[in-house]
Every structure is written in C-alpha cells, then in structure tokens.
Structure 1
Amino acid sequence: SSDGRFIAYVVNAAGISRVRLLDPATGKSRTVESLPAGVVGSLDVSDWGEIGLSLSSARSPSDAYSINPETLAVTRWTASETGGLDATKNAEPSLVEIKSFDGLKMSGFLYRPDATKFPGKRPMLMWVHGGPESQSRPAFIGAYNYLVNELGIALFYPNVRGSSGYGKTFVSLDNGAFKREDSVKDMGAFLDALAKDPGLDASRFALTGRSYGGYMCYAAAVQFAENLKSTHCDVAISNFVTFLETTQSYRRDLRRAEYGDERDPKQRAKLLAISPLERVKEMKKPMFTVTGGNDPRVPASEAEQVVKAIRANGGTVWHLLATNEGHIWGKKENNDYAFWSALQFYRQTLLGE
C-alpha cells in the first residue's frame, strides 16, 4: 500500500491462488478466505488502499474483484460474457492429494458431473499438462465444461513431478533421460488412486495430453493400456531421439537440458528405451492423435510414425492433421473441428455410443 501499512501478495497453494496481506510492522499475515478458488491474473493496490485483482475460476473466465484491506471483504465488479451459458452450473473442482510410487506427495484437480443429472459411477478423462514445467490450475476450462456438464465425463488434471508451483526440487525431479519415466509412474499412481473413488468408473478411464503431455499420453497408452479405454494425444513426442534431431534448432539445446542429450551414447540409448514408439506394439487401445503440419516444435513426423506403426499392427488410430497449423493452433475452424472430433471419439470409446 502507498502508506506502507500492508503488503498484498499471492501464494500458489497447490495451484490455487491465495491472496494474503502482510503487516510489515508485526510480520503477521492474513489470508483472504472469501475469494473463489481460482487463479489470480493481476493484482494492484489503489492509492486509497483498496486491493484490485482479476481472477479466473471454474465459473468465471476472468473477472474483476476488490478486497477491503481492513475487513478482507470481497466485492465482485464484473460478470464476464459466456455466450449465454450459465457458468454457475459449471462443476467446481476438488483437490485430490496422493503419494506416488516413492512416497512423493502430489495433487490434481477433479471436476465431477452433477450427480443428479448423471447418477452412478462416471467415466473419467485425465488431462496431463505440457511444458513439462507447466501446472494445472483451477482456472476456467471453457468448452471442456461440455464434457462434464453434457456428457457426464469427469475431468482430472494431475500435476506430476516436474510441474511448476511446488518448489525448485519438485520441478527438477523429471529432468534428463534417466528420471523421465518417474513422471510416467506418477500418472499410474493417480490412476490407481482414482480407481478407488466411489464416484468414478475405473473401467471407463481415458487420458489426453498436449505437447509434452502428448508424450505422457503415448507413454500411458503403452504402460497403462489395461487401465485405459482410449488415449487422445496432441502434437506429441513419440521418439525422443527423432524429436531432438528434427525440432527447430533454436529449441534443441533447451530441450536437451530438459530431456537429455541424444548425442551422448548412454543418454541416447536411454532416450530410445523410454520412447513410446519403441513399444508401439503394446498400444492396444484406440488412440486419436492430432498434429499441425507446420509445427516447428514437435514435427508432424512424430505423429505420422506412430500412426503408421499402429496401423501396421492392426490397431485402431484416428489421425487429424491440420496442414495450415503449427504447434499452437490459431484458426477457429480447425480448433472447432478438433474439439468436436474429440467429443465423437470420447462418445465412442468412453460412453459406448
């Protein structure tokens, strides 16, 4: 504040933004409890002391709020446009906390369908983030509310080791070729934990991911085929060696620092061993792979070699290639087509329609 009475700051608490006010004189802090669970985009303190911020949550794309620094009372000032949809009906996520195979604590966010509209155990789609140093947080999930609200599919967003938001040690635990599959094991730990959830149908689990999350998707198709009905893998790495050799040169050294160096014989051997393409015969369940023809980060060849191998083995794979897109798709017609195609895939593989 301009008078130095307090310092307003935001803490990332397992993905949820917590606003706190620190009294510099006493060193004590107070937490603002009445904000919705979500993600703060910006925060500032006015000249008169009121705290202003923007926040995205399950039921709001991004709205303006203010906080009274004396009472910590919260006022919402805007209601963002949602195209006529009633965002108050969107499911608010619950935090799921587990211990992985080695005892490491981690968590994720579970969005459950309305039990009145969709009684009984529900199918679930696990959505693994990319990066790999991104973090799944409880912000507005946009069109993917359709899966929860209209199809009755639960969504789960895990934060495996290597994710941001949990400290320097946690984010480095998947670095290099020899620790990479520890994060894959984390997916298995989440699947095992969620299979015990009384509201979920463990016989109808699927998994999706994009970019690095796409690699995790391919890896899950190999290692957790018995746990999954299907996988949907977007702009995904299928072979770490071919990926590192064909990604654009401006990214290569950066990616080597994360994944390993394919020029080193020992690392190259390990990178091949952990590449899903090397175990493609174990991909037994239906897969949908999506890629951009002009992708400079993960070339389209990474998907093409998987599709070719699965079909050669007699497996089921859908392949969507947008020849006029790169890694981040920018054309509405392409994104709409990809979304509705994915819904059709989930209708068939998860809902049996």
Structure 2
Amino acid sequence: MRKVLLPLLILFILSSFSYSSSEKKVLTVKDMLGFKRISQLSFSPSDTRVAFVVRESDFEKSKYSRDIWMADMDKKEAFKYAFSSENESFPLWSPDGKNLAFLSNRGKAEDEEKEAKNQVWIIPANGGEAEKLTLAEEGVLTYKWMPDGEEIVCLTLESLSPSQKKKKKMDEEKKSDITIVDQKEKRKEFWGINLKEKKSQKIFVGDYGISEFDISPTGQKIVYSTNYTGEENDYTKFDLWVLDLNKKKASQLTFRDGSEENPLWSPDGEKIAFIAPFDSTLSFSQTDLWIVDSDGKGLSNLTLDFDRCVDEIEWSKDGKNIYFVAEEGTNNLIYSISLRDKKIKPVISGKRCCYDLKVGKKKMVFASADSVSTFDIYSSNLRGKNITKLTDLNPQLKDFYINPQEVISWKSQDDWDIEGILFKPYNLSKGVKYPMIVFAHGGPFGRVENYFLSRHLQVLASAGYVAFAPNFRGSSGYGNEFGVMLKGDLGGVDFKDVMSGIDYVISLGFVDPERIGIVGGSYGGYVVNWAITQTDRFGAAVSEFGVFDLRSDYGNTYIPRWDIEYLGSHYWEDPEPYKKFSPSSYVQNVKTPVLILHGDEDPNCFISSSQELYRALKDLNQTVQFVRYPREEHGFSEPNHIVDEEERVIFWFDRYLKDEEGKFSGKEVFKIGEDIKWEGKVLRVENIKIVDSYSGVKPKGKFLEVEFRISGKRDKDFSLNFYEEIYLLTENYERMLISGIPQGASEVKEVLLTGDALTVSIKKSQDQGYFQNTHKVTFDVDKELHSAELFIAGFPEIRLEF
C-alpha cells in the first residue's frame, strides 16, 4: 500500500475504471496476454461434454493459472469446473463417464520454497469435492485410466531410498552438495492405483527415458516410448516398447532408426499407431503417421505420399479410420485415413488452425482459431460436417481493433514459391509509407501459423508497424524437401527467402524501404544475427535468445545434436561449417543498432551466446543493449517479463526507425505545449518543472512535476488510472511510474499524495457537453536524467526535455 508523504490527511475520492462499450481499443501486449488460452481437451464417452484446460494470466504474481473447465455440448455453454489457487491440468474421463480425473499441484510442498508436485485428483462428473488419489513422492508425470475404470496407471520418478535422502540432506547442510554431470539417479516407474481400495502398487521400474504411454483395450499391456536416457539430446532415439502387465516384462516393439513417439492402441488391440519422421536420420524431416502390428510386424508409413507433417493422431472408435491433424502451410487441418484402402480424406478444411483433436463415437471436438478469432472449442460429426462452436471464452475481443493479417506468397531469388503472413495496422492509410518489422520464427523446422494470437505480430501492428513473418525454406508445413533444405546451408536459402520477401512487400507500395527492422528468437535469433552481419539494410534489430557462434552453441546447449544434424559433423571433424555459418565470423560488419534479450536459465540457446554477441558489439563500438531475464528459460514464460519484452521491442524500433519528421512507428511524437487531438479528446502538456521537495519530503533523485490538461466531449465514458496508465520511458527503456500527485493545502506547502488506485473518471452526459480537467503528476527520476518520453494511456507519446 502506498502512503501519503506528509503528516496531513487528505481524502481523495475517485471513481472506478470504465470505458464505453461502443469505443474500440487498440491491442496491447497485456490485452493479448489477457485472452484465455485453451488446451488438453478430453471428450466424454457419451459425446456430450468436453473437459479442457484454460490458461489465464495473473499479472500480480506474474504467472499463469490453469484450471479445468467444462463445455456442455447441448447447452453450448462453458463453465469453470475444477479450480484452486494452484494449477489443474490433463483432465481424463473415466471409461463410464461418471468421474473426471486431473493433475493438480494443490497443497503444500515439503520444501516451502518449491511448488507442490502434481498428483492425480478425481471429481464426480456431476460436480462435488475433488479427492486426492495419489501421494507420489516425486509427483505424477502422466497417467491413464484402465479400460475397466477401476484403476489408474501413473508414470512417476523413482524415489530416493531412506539412506540416499539422509545423505542428500547431510550434504546440503554441510554445503558439500555437488552435481555430477549426466549422472542418472531416478528411473521412471509405473504405478497402479485402485480406486475402491485407494491403494497404490508399483507395477514396473523402467529406464530413465520413458515418456508417453497407452494401455491396451484389454488392460493387459502398456505401450510406451523411451529414449532410454531421459536426456534432451537423445530426442532422435525414441523407440516403442510393450510392457506385459501379467509377466511384468517389457520387450522392444520398433527397431527402426529415428524416433517413434505418441503411441496409440487400436480399439481391437491388434495395432499401434504412432508418429515418426519420414527420414529416420533427420529429426527435422517431415513427421508421418505410422502403424505396426502389436507383435512388431507389419510396420507401415500410412502418409508416405501425403508430404505434410502429422502432429496429432486419434483412432475412430470402430478402428476403421485414423484421424490426424496435419500442417498445411500456415494452417492446421484435420484429415482421416481409411485402414481398408489407405485413402486420405480432408475432414476439417479452410483457413484455420486446429489443435487437440478428440474423436468420439459419432462426433469429434477440437480447438480452432483463425486470423480474427482466439481459440475456442468446436464440434462436428465424423465427416467434418455440422461444425458448431461450443465456447466463447474471449467475448472481449469484439472491443478491440483487430489488425488485418493475410497470407502472401512470392518467388524467392532462385524461383521457389515462399509463403508468409503480413500484418497491417488497423488504421492503415492510403498513400502513407509505414515502417516494417520482419519476424523470423524459430526452429528452423517450425513456422508461423495464421491465427490471431500471434503476440509479437499483432502488438507490432497495433504500434503502427507493418509486420511480416516469412515461412522461409527449412520451415515445416510445406513438404519434406522444403523442410530439410537448411541441412548444410544455415543462413543460405532461408536468408534469400527473407530478403526476397521484403522486396515483395515493399513492391506493394505501403512500406518505407528505409525503415525496416528485424526481430526473432531461438533460430529466429540466429536469423537476426546472421542478417545484421550480411547487410546494413535493417535500421534496427532485436535478437532474442539466439545463436551467435555455432561452435560455442555446440559446447553449451543441452541439444548439441542439433548442430551436428544441420552442419553434418562435430567441429573437430570439420571446423569449416561451424565457422562459415556462424554470425560471429562476420560480426565486424554489423552497423545496425541491436537489442539483445535472453533468459538467464536458458538450457537450449545458452545465454553465453548473447553475451558473446554483446561483448563483440561493445568492443566494436556499435549501438547495443543487453537485457537479461532472471528465472527464464528458452523463451519467456512470466507474464510481466513478456510485457517488458514486448514494450522494449517496440520502444527500440520506435527509437531507430523514425523518419526525418520525427515520426515513430507511423505515429507523431509530440512536445510540450502542443495540442494532441486523439479519438475525440485533446491532451496538452502545459508545463514541467523540477521540484526540490514536497512539504519536506525529498526525492531519491529529483522530482519531475508534469502538468497536463485533457478536454473533450462528454459523448462517451473516459477514465485514467494515474498509477497504471501514466509513466515515463527513459532512453535506457526503464519504465517509471508516477511517485504521487501534488495537492495544494491552505496552511502548508504543496504536498504529494500517493495511493494504489488514483483514477479520474468522466462519465458520458446526455447533453454531450464538454469537459476540461487539469492534473499534475510527479516522478522521482535520476539526477542525471534530462529527457524521457511521457506515456498517457489513449494518447501518443510526448517528448519531455528537462
């Protein structure tokens, strides 16, 4: 709670935050994070209800909360079903549909500094109190119902023995605890939990690498995938094994090279479907749908000639067909294949992205979104007809301007057809040349999909930029040949595709060729690092958790196999490609201002990569800023860090992509004394001054007092939260909220009022008269700070010099 900085009590009565429902708003990163996200659908055996997980942002704690929701297919409504102050996930219906199981980390952990581990909970399908079913010491990794519904099988980690626990505790107390790299301690175990007796029994102790599993229709066998070691670097070594629950013995099912994952028994128990790469020697080869007899015979690639990546698979209940989700350019669509004639048919088509497919007896359900909608749950019959929307989780979307996005295609420099997605500002004006930001996706065996929740791109467009995301060669979704083209050619054809795409967008007539920036993370960060060493065409760049030196990347990443796969050898066997394709080899060419963002705990693209880039650019006297995010791994997961990331990205581009008239990202930056007319209101900064103190209260640096006036018609509600919607941005991209609001008093000097919710509100009036309010706010700024940009919600930024 903020305090009043004076020995005088002042009452300051303010109304709550409100907006007129008729006024559309410009999307911000907080708005994007505020949309609910769905995942992990579970379809009831009766084909009438869908349980699913909803993720929401908690900005106060800077984390995501996940709860179980339920969608009723008859009523076409959704409601929160199982929730707590912790997280719920992975709902699974019992075979009779009377109960729903889920994972949750409710309760307290033994170590108060850590979160409790996931356990299996169960709740009646018609509602009631959830009951904790497991007490796994190391938590439950995943689980499945037995076909008879009387037992649940869990996968967990092996627990330490009493003597091992005692030694570990003593070592920690003596500060003699060490970690031996790659020393394995905990194997994976299968446990069975009887629901009636509430008893658990160890079924099988496996190896260190068991991941997904499925139970046969008879309940007598388990098929599971394992890479044996549990190490991330062995991602190409997953095999399928079958565990006989009667004999307590496991035998290997598949022996092909490459990785076999996502195994699913057929309804009759005779076959097992799974996903594996087309080319067993490359992890970035197209993923196909495979099938094998339960005795290991009859191995077959069912989508050999389909030439698109298969991401999800589901058996039909009669076992005659397999449904699957496939990557189709910028879309994710649903297909089926008949096991009788091996014919593939489209089921759900169009311009949409589908996920979490679940197939019932007569219906299927899936999550879907497109370029103008967030993800919701839909149902259809098994032929993909009668598509019905079951949820509307983000009705507030209609209150925002949606920046139009469209799929475009062009010829690359060597005549290949390349696709990408173009995002335009919602208020794009004819005849105006806009700055453009190029977004390079990660992978490189990945892609940009054409759905609304593309956070970087929608937020950039809202900030007044054209945003362009090319799916360059090496991306998934365009066939196997397309996807493997970067083997031995990192920074080659992909860079050509990016640059030719830029030329194509410029030819459309609304992009300023002199104001182009580039941003990307992971492999996209590599593309950024490569681009700025090969050309000075970019006016600004943002490199996020990317690769700078390939030899260093090999030595520090937890998946060095990636470097070997793309470069063809270890660096001591052939050092040339490591040098040739490393941006570090050409860093002396960089002239572009670079913002570097990286998480401290990134095990994939280790932070040393960004540190090396930063050090080189500093010693070369180039413009660079390096921002590190504590606790973050590969990509940013804490909502407040993501807000900071997006705002820094925009501010960096605003700073370096302005034109000679002082325009930032298509918006004019105003100065003191200028009237800013914006969406029916007028803002004017009347005065700024340095104040030594308020009633004896002194600043840590110096007090900067800003006086401003807002006026306009009373034709709609308007409000402004001073502590959340007014701030300064320094040249180092430090965001500074106000310290208080100066208030006059009759017997004392002007004082500084502070509080948690200081809001001014103007209500809509029937006579639609005019209002005019003058306010003062104070910032405690550094003594050496002499300029900053003032941001007041709903208006363009204002340049302050003091």
Cα deviation, residue 50, structure 1: 3.2
Structure 1 residues 78, 308: CA separation in 2 closer, same or farther (over 3 Å shift)?
A: same
Q: Partner letter of residue 373 of structure 2? A: S
Q: Which residue of 1 aligns with 2:370?
A: 57
Q: Which residue of 2 aligns with 1:246?
A: 556
Q: 2:564 aligns with which of 256, 277, 281?
A: 256
Alignment of 1:217-232 (within 5 A): 217-226=528-537, 228-232=538-542
Q: Is the 8 A contact 1:260 1:271 kept in 2?
A: no
Q: Which residue of 2 aligns with 1:197?
A: 508
Alignment of 1:12-161 (within 5 A): 12-19=327-334, 29=345, 32=348, 37-47=351-361, 49-68=362-381, 72-81=385-394, 84-86=396-398, 89-115=401-427, 120-139=432-451, 140-142=453-455, 144-149=457-462, 151-161=463-473
User: What is the alpha-carbon distance in structure 2 between the residues aligned to residue 175 and residue 29 of structure 1?
Assistant: 32
User: What is the alpha-carbon distance in structure 2 between the residues aligned to residue 179 and residue 291 of structure 1?
Assistant: 22
Q: Is the 8 A contact 1:147 1:154 kept in 2?
A: yes
User: What is the alpha-carbon distance in structure 1 between the residues aligned to residue 455 and residue 484 of structure 2?
Assistant: 30
Structure 1 residues 349, 30: CA separation in 2 closer, same or farther (over 3 Å shift)?
A: same
Q: Is the 8 A contact 1:58 1:91 kept in 2?
A: no
Provide Cα deviations, 1:91-138, integer angstroms capped at 9, x if missing partner: 342111122222222211111122457872322211111112111111
Q: Is the 8 A contact 1:60 1:87 kept in 2?
A: no
Cα deviation, residue 75, structure 1: 2.1
Q: Which residue of 2 aligns with 1:274?
A: 581
Structure 1 residues 337, 322: CA separation in 2 closer, same or farther (over 3 Å shift)?
A: same
Cα deviation, residue 159, structure 1: 1.1
User: What is the alpha-carbon distance in structure 2 between the residues aligned to residue 54 and residue 241 of structure 1?
Assistant: 41
Q: Partner letter of residue 80 of structure 1? A: L
Q: Is the 8 A contact 1:180 1:259 kept in 2?
A: no
Q: Which residue of 1 aligns with 2:9?
A: none
Q: Which residue of 2 aligns with 1:167?
A: 479
Q: Which residue of 2 aligns with 1:291?
A: 598
Which shifted more, 202-211 or 318-327?
318-327
Tell me, what secondary structure is at the counterpart of 1:208?
A: strand
Provide Cα deviations, 1:30-87, integer angstroms capped at 9, x if missing partner: 6656x6x33101223432x3332211333333101123567934322212237x4437
Q: Partner letter of residue 257 of structure 1? A: E
Structure 1 residue runs without a partner (length 5+): none
Provide Cα deviations, 1:241-280, integer angstroms capped at 9, x if missing partner: 12112223xx123431123434345x41232132112211
The Cα RMSD (Å) is: 2.9
Whichever structure has more strand as a proportion of its residues is 2
Cα deviation, residue 288, structure 1: 0.7
Q: Which residue of 1 aligns with 2:37?
A: none
Tell me, what secondary structure is at the counterpart of 1:334?
A: helix
Q: Is the 8 A contact 2:403 2:425 kept in 1?
A: yes
Cα deviation, residue 326, structure 1: 2.4
Cα deviation, residue 318, structure 1: 1.6
User: What is the alpha-carbon distance in structure 2 between the residues aligned to residue 50 and residue 88 of structure 1?
Assistant: 34
Q: Partner letter of residue 437 of structure 2? A: L
User: What is the alpha-carbon distance in structure 2 between the residues aligned to residue 317 and residue 181 of structure 1?
Assistant: 25
Which shifted more, 68-77 or 2-11?
2-11
Alignment length, in residue pairs? 343
Provide Cα deviations, 1:155-175, integer angstroms capped at 9, x if missing partner: 221111111112222111101
Q: Is the 8 A contact 1:125 1:206 kept in 2?
A: yes
Q: Is the 8 A contact 1:59 1:87 kept in 2?
A: no
Bigger relative contact order (CA 8 A; separation at least 6): 1
Tell me, what secondary structure is at the counterpart of 1:86?
A: helix
Which shifted more, 19-28 or 71-80?
19-28
Structure 1 residues 285, 5: CA separation in 2 closer, same or farther (over 3 Å shift)?
A: same
Structure 1 residues 323, 348: CA separation in 2 closer, same or farther (over 3 Å shift)?
A: same
Structure 1 residues 325, 69: CA separation in 2 closer, same or farther (over 3 Å shift)?
A: closer
Q: Is the 8 A contact 1:61 1:142 kept in 2?
A: no
User: What is the alpha-carbon distance in structure 1 between the residues aligned to residue 326 and residue 622 of structure 2?
Assistant: 46
Q: TM-score when scaled to structure 1?
A: 0.85
User: What is the alpha-carbon distance in structure 2 between the residues aligned to residue 159 and residue 218 of structure 1?
Assistant: 18
Q: TM-score when scaled to structure 2?
A: 0.40
Q: Partner letter of residue 566 of structure 2? A: E
Structure 1 residues 294, 32: CA separation in 2 closer, same or farther (over 3 Å shift)?
A: closer
Whichever structure has more helix as a proportion of its residues is 1
Q: Is the 8 A contact 1:296 1:326 kept in 2?
A: yes
Tell me, what secondary structure is at the counterpart of 2:369?
A: strand
Q: Which residue of 1 aligns with 2:96?
A: none
Q: Is the 8 A contact 2:571 2:578 kept in 1?
A: no
Q: Partner letter of residue 259 of structure 1? A: L
User: What is the alpha-carbon distance in structure 2 between the residues aligned to residue 210 and residue 152 of structure 1?
Assistant: 22
Q: Is the 8 A contact 1:164 1:171 kept in 2?
A: yes
User: What is the alpha-carbon distance in structure 1 between the residues aligned to residue 420 and residue 378 of structure 2?
Assistant: 26
Structure 2 residue runs without a partner (length 5+): 1-315, 665-802
Structure 1 residues 347, 13: CA separation in 2 closer, same or farther (over 3 Å shift)?
A: same
User: What is the alpha-carbon distance in structure 2 between the residues aligned to residue 99 and residue 87 of structure 1?
Assistant: 38
Provide Cα deviations, 1:193-227, integer angstroms capped at 9, x if missing partner: 2221223222221111101110100111122322x
Alignment partner of 1:215 is 2:530: no
Q: Partner letter of residue 148 of structure 1? A: A
User: What is the alpha-carbon distance in structure 2 between the residues aligned to residue 21 and residue 261 of structure 1?
Assistant: 39
Q: Partner letter of residue 258 of structure 1? A: Y
Q: Partner letter of residue 507 of structure 2? A: K
Q: Is the 8 A contact 2:545 2:635 kept in 1?
A: no
Which of the pair has more CA radius of gyration?
Answer: 2
Q: Percent of aligned positions with the same letter in both sequences?
A: 21
